[in-house]
Amino acid sequence: MKKKIVLLGDSIRLGYGQLVPGMLGEDYEVWQSADNCRFAKYTLRMLFDEAENIKGAHVIHWNNGLWDTTELFDDGTFSTEEEYVENMLRIARLLQKITPNVIFATITPTHPEYPYTRNDKIDRFNELIVPKLKDMGVAINDLNSLVKLHIEEYISPDMIHPNETGFTACAKQVVNAIKQFD
């Protein structure tokens, strides 16, 4: 019987999610929404709509945060630190009702010259949520460190998303994180 894997997350997941099924192979069935899960509160709402698709997952790998840390109007991040943490913990609790095998992928950095998201804010949001998720028993996949080490090599010209090389590296790390639950 194939193990069901669920991938949830924003546009970063849309990129690595195209590669993960092939890398995992035939022993796995991968479900992921065609929709960009955007910011944490959007993902929280999407969990209701996609409940039947997520049900029965052996492993859920999820990321949120780039949208939450974005500053479009020079008046702060899209989500406050408190909103982000509250919504992320709520998501984690809901996912753990489906499977104990939940993995959170840290928020990936943007190019330092990207004007709407600052890496110090991304680091701050990661610092706030990672220890709390670990305390809940959520596994952590540190995509942030992976991309940060190769930011010039892995970030696309849009300055937000990984390029093909970056998505391939992320997908390999996602697959390794998932396979720890075999």
CB 163 within 8 A of CB 126: no
**Tokens standing for residue 46:** 């999407």
CA proximity to 106, closest of 32, 174, 24? 174
Domain boundaries, the chain: 3-179
Instruction: Give the model confidence (pLDDT) of 20-76 as tens digits.
Output: 999 999 999 999 999 899 999 999 999 999 999 999 999 999 999 999 999 999 899
What average pLDDT score do residues 159-166 get?
A: 97
**Which pLDDT score is estimated for 9?**
94
The CATH superfamily assigned to 3-179 is SGNH hydrolase (3.40.50.1110)
Question: 59-62 and 3-8: which strand pairing?
Answer: parallel
Mean pLDDT of the chain, nearest integer: 97
Question: 139-141 and 102-105: which strand pairing?
Answer: parallel
pTM: 0.96
